[in-house]
Amino acid sequence: MVVAQKLADHMSFRMLSILLLWLLAAPVRAEFHGVIIQGLSGNHDYAEQFELQTGQLERAAMNLAASEHVHVFRGASAGRETLQKFFSELAEKTDPEDSIAIFLVGHGSFDGLEYKFNIRGPDLTGADIAALMNALPSRRQLLVNPGSASGAILEMLKNDASRIVITGTRSGNERNATRFGAYFSAALADPAADLNKDEAISVKEAFEYAERRVADYYETEGSLATEHSQLAGDRSAGYLLARLGVPQAPEDDPRLAELMQRRETLDGEILELQLGRDSLNEEEYFSRLQELMIDLALLDGEIEKIREAGPDAR
């Protein structure tokens, strides 16, 4: 009994110490920024499809970030100059620790020399997209460009150290409209995409889900696939894109939005630790894992208290 009590006291002191360090720590918290750019559709059917994809991506991003960090551009707001101005401002107010995910919803074209993402007015070229992303300080960048001819920009944009790039085709010569984008956005709300059953969808899980669905489609149709998706970049398994079963944080509750951001950061740290387990000895691994799990439990407790209090108490 004495030993058990000492252990309990030690754990209580340890948890209190961790909590105090967490509250008093000076480092800036990493934040998630989601940018969705919806291009031209060309016809009514594609317009409906692109609008659906944009909505799915936006809802997933809103469960990871405060509303002011989720940006959707469509129609007149998705012009080249407007986007260049936005990314210039984003580069100034983000830090290297922040995560920035950019989703291009629409058609692309390739003339053998230059890739273009089709928007109102002058199109965004591959060089434009590279310049916008290279100017961002974030070391956790994601670009998802699932449309036609998107593979043309893979070599130009990939950077394994800080950037994950997903394209819907393997080259600019696959110019037909793709199905990959619809499946990728659908993955962010589908439990079938959650292969490790952690109630979250990583970039890797969303990619593999969409890849499987595309393959199933062409097999069912009995036709030759006209699209072959590509993923370049490290740590796609540790980059979270969505949570399952989590209600969207109300826009008027900044406390809950901030807690959800911190939870996303912790989820990512736990995944990174698990992926790097082979580089640590057993004591180091389990010690760090214990610390992260305690932090996560404390954070989940705060989130649950706010939810239980209901909107009237906010």
Give the model's pLDDT for residue 283.
83
| Residues 236, 253 within the same domain | no
Task: Looking at the structure, tell me whether residues 130 and 263 fall in a common domain.
Answer: no
Domain boundary (185, 208, 243) is at: 243
Q: Are 57 and 36 in contact (CB under 8 A)?
A: yes
Question: Can you give the pLDDT at residue 271?
Answer: 64
Domain stop point among 191, 218, 243: 243
Q: Which range, 1-5, 7-11, 53-57, 252-256, has the best average confidence (pLDDT)?
A: 53-57
User: Across-strand partners of 242?
Assistant: 201
Q: Does the structure show a pLDDT above 90 at 298? A: no
Question: Within a domain: residue 19?
Answer: no
Furthest CA-CA distance within the chain: 77
Write down the pLDDT at residue 245: 72
pTM over 0.85: no
Amino acid of residue 206: A
Same domain, 160 and 224: yes
Mean pLDDT to the nearest integer, 11-15:
49
Q: Do 235 and 288 have their domain in common?
A: no
What is the pLDDT, as a whole number, of residue 4?
A: 44
pLDDT band, very low/low/confident/very high, at 99 (cuts 50, 70, 90):
very high
Confirm whether 16 is domain-assigned.
no
Q: What are the residues whose beta carbons fall under 8 Å from the beta carbon of 149, sequence distance 6 or more?
A: 108, 109, 110, 115, 169, 171, 172, 173, 174, 175
On whether both 175 and 299 belong to a single domain, the answer is no
Same domain, 218 and 273: no
Considering the domain boundaries, does residue 221 fall inside one?
yes
Stretch among 19-23, 74-78, 112-116 having the lowest mean pLDDT: 19-23
How far apart, in whole angstroms, are the C-alpha atoms of residue 262 and residue 299?
8
Average pLDDT of the segment spanning 205-218: 96
Does a structural domain hold residue 12?
no
Residue 67 sits in the same domain as residue 111:
yes
In a domain, residue 120? The reply is yes
Whether residue 93 sits in one domain with residue 73: yes
Residues 42 and 168 in one domain: yes
Give residue-wise pLDDT tens across range 33-83: 999 999 999 998 899 999 999 999 999 999 888 889 999 999 999 999 999
- pLDDT at position 101: 98
pLDDT at 261: 72
Across 110-136, average pLDDT: 97
Structural domain includes residue 220: yes
Domain stop point among 189, 214, 243: 243
- Reported as a single tens digit per residue, the pLDDT across 218-264 is 999 999 999 999 999 988 998 999 998 755 445 456 777 777 777 77
Structural domain harbouring 255: 248-313
Domain match, 161 and 298 both? no
